[in-house]
Amino acid sequence: MLCKCGRIFQEISIFVELMGKWIFFIVGMLVFNELRAQGDPILLSGTVRDSSGKLLPGAVFVNKRTGEWKKAGKDGSYVFSMPHQDTVQVFVLGFEIKDITFKDSTYRQGYDFAIVMPEIVDELDEVEIIGVKTYSEIRKNINNLSVRQTDKYPDATIANPVSLLYEMFSKKEQSNRLAAYLEYQQKKESLLKDLFRLYNQYEIIDLDEFEFDNFIAYMNIPDDFLQTTADYDLAVYVKRQFKMYRQLGF
């Protein structure tokens, strides 16, 4: 009887041991697959819109961890790839920054969806809407153009090596600097478009709204030239560039 009970306990022990190994194996595989999925790339696609559903062209997508970025299309469409656990920040001039992540979602290779950007709401006592800005307004804004300071230690020098190393190699600071630069570029492009609208009125140039982006890219005006050139010289320069632009068949 004791022999028979001992054999039963032995079989139970073997069974429990085997079940424990299987459970450990299954749990290990589940954890491994989840970790692998977290590192696998996902593809985001869709459109960028405001709260009314209007398409927003030129949105900028920045991987918050790596700093890699990509600009959306002029039609508001976007395609952006990143690892599953990462976060992408979406920038559109005049709208709040939007963070998007799928790290807590079940892994899929692709996500197709519309991104609705929240508008920046300014509380003003009085609002005046002007179709085309005056030249003095545009010139004032151009002269005030600058890249927003993002460095946590702006006084970092070789005399302060820890702060200097942080500013040089911190991915967060690199991402912040890139975001500030992209924000600056969008403001510059917006001011140039205001300038072109005014030049159109005075028949210095003759461009349609949809041509502005290409003409800005064609001219590639250096920042210091834009800010230091006299008003008349700037108008003459843009007019000459416009004539060459047309002669090239644009």
In tens digits, the chain (250 residues) has pLDDT values of 445 445 554 555 555 465 555 555 555 555 555 555 446 889 999 999 999 999 988 888 888 888 788 888 889 999 999 998 899 988 887 788 889 998 888 888 899 999 999 887 654 444 443 445 677 888 888 888 765 654 444 444 444 444 444 444 455 656 666 777 788 888 888 889 999 998 888 888 999 999 999 999 888 888 888 888 888 888 888 888 898 888 888 7
Fold designation for 42-116: Immunoglobulin-like (2.60.40)
Name the helix (H) or strand (E) containing 122.
Answer: none
pTM for the model stands at: 0.43
CB neighbour class for 97 (10 Å; exposed up to 12, middle 13-18, buried from 19): middle
Give the Cα-Cα-Cα angle 53, 117, 50 (nearest 5 degrees).
Answer: 20
pLDDT for the residue numbered 168: 47
Give the Cα-Cα-Cα angle 199, 148, 183 (nearest 5 degrees).
Answer: 55
Q: How many whole angstroms separate alpha carbon 95 and alpha carbon 175? A: 18
- Listed in order, strand segments (DSSP E) in the chain are 41-49, 60-63, 69-71, 77-83, 87-91, 98-101, 110-116
C-beta of residue 116 within 8 angstroms of C-beta of residue 93:
no
Which tokens is 10 given?
Answer: 């032995």
Q: Where are the domains of the chain?
A: 42-116, 135-247
